[in-house]
Structure 1
């Protein structure tokens, strides 16, 4: 296992979460967005009508070829006292029943992409909906083909207000970590793809520096 990168109160691991999770202490909350197994890890560049870039090109790396198996999902759940797992409908065979679902409604219907996304949680709360237009993500110039908006992940963190250490075993480009930095929480992230690990390090470092400026 590689030595983690420490950025302020964030600890970031480049590697396979199967190997790294057993070495970590239990955290307050796991908030994560695992691969859905839809094969959309690659993405062609697309442009706006004014000629500016809407989506970046992403080469196909194979990480979205299958969903995490049951053994890995159980390890992910066991890593935290509380859990929020995006794409929970794709992992229904491996997740307990829950009343506390979160919904991201993307503000548009009928497109080739989904109208919204579902997050399974271990929380005993009523179902909650976040209305956040998909263009909020485009305004962030996403650097990962399945990147979530930072505002959405900050919303997730609002449901675990007492959780001081957040873990994301499928860190991607680091949005969960950026949200944690915005709320001055501690963060542990794991990402196996070096390209996205480097992006996550940069984004989390930027968020740390912005937080210090605000403070």
Structure 2
């Protein structure tokens, strides 16, 4: 039998890495999600590629290390899917969103990070896949975020909230704030756009205890660490071989 090659990196595709309460797949999300059982995840929490990060089209197509300019980012692997035309990004994300809808339990919550440029496209993608839009929350990154000359500091990111049709059984209701106050990670980053673990610990509380959380764009698996620490199970997907290896090591060591 011929070897199956990863669509992105053309390396020999490996079986998923597993550990107590977690499974992570290396490959494109739209392909890897096909391996997951239908109606099996209670929440989908992810930071997908924005394919923006610049004021011009050429800037959007630039390498991720050019967009996220700091000394920490330049040491890290490039991001997959971040240098795409808007139309290609929307097509890719819609394919992923349809698979997300298939694996989501009735009433499962979807939390997706985005910026002001990708918000409208992400709304169209999730709505087009059959999710019900619920609103947005804001992550305030603090004054350490980069300033913009004669404009606003790039101090916030948005979290788009959607939900699969139906009702999810919960032992109790959960109330999260509309604004999360956490500084960006300044040192020791494992991923260019790594989110604070404390922030993800709050977001995973939307899933019932013991339920499964999915991150189709897991990066360094911060969502996974937060999920497992809280007693929930976790499934992740990552197309970058370098970040997949980082995520597996991190989940094994819980750091």
When the two structures are aligned, how many residues end up with a matched partner?
A: 199
Mapping 1:105-120, distance limit 5 Å: 105-108=140-143, 111-112=147-148, 114-120=154-160
Q: What residue is the counterpart of 2:10 in the other structure?
A: none
Q: What residue is the counterpart of 1:198 in the other structure?
A: 245
Mapping 1:40-119, distance limit 5 Å: 41-42=64-65, 46=70, 54-60=72-78, 62-66=80-84, 67=89, 68-81=92-105, 82=108, 83-87=110-114, 89=119, 90-96=121-127, 98-108=133-143, 111-112=147-148, 114-119=154-159
Give deviations 1:167-202, integer Å, cap 9, x for gaps. 111111111111112112111111111100010011
- C-alpha displacement at 1:99, in angstroms? 3.3
- C-alpha displacement at 1:63, in angstroms? 2.5
Q: Is the 8 A contact 1:18 1:72 kept in 2?
A: yes
1:172 equivalent to 2:219? Answer: yes
Distance 1:105 1:95, change over 3 A: same
The residue matched to 1:147 in structure 2 has which SS? coil
Structure with max Cα Rg: 2
- C-alpha displacement at 1:101, in angstroms? 2.0
Q: Is the 8 A contact 2:41 2:104 kept in 1?
A: yes
Q: What residue is the counterpart of 2:9 in the other structure?
A: none
- Structure 2: stretches of 5+ with no match in the other structure: 1-12, 53-59, 164-173
1:138 equivalent to 2:186? Answer: yes
Segment drifting more, 63-72 vs 36-45: 36-45
- Structure 1: stretches of 5+ with no match in the other structure: 48-53, 211-215
- C-alpha displacement at 1:158, in angstroms? 1.8
The residue matched to 1:42 in structure 2 has which SS? helix
Q: Distance in 2 between matches of 1:7 and 1:35?
A: 26
Q: TM-score, normalised by structure 2?
A: 0.68
Query: Which of residues 163, 186, 210 in structure 1 aligns to 2:233?
Result: 186
Q: Is the 8 A contact 2:21 2:232 kept in 1?
A: yes
CA RMSD of aligned residues (A): 2.7
The list of structure 1 runs, each at least 4 consecutive aligned residues, that deviate by more than 6 angstroms after superposition, is 124-127
Q: Is the 8 A contact 2:219 2:247 kept in 1?
A: yes
Q: Distance in 2 between matches of 1:30 and 1:60?
A: 24
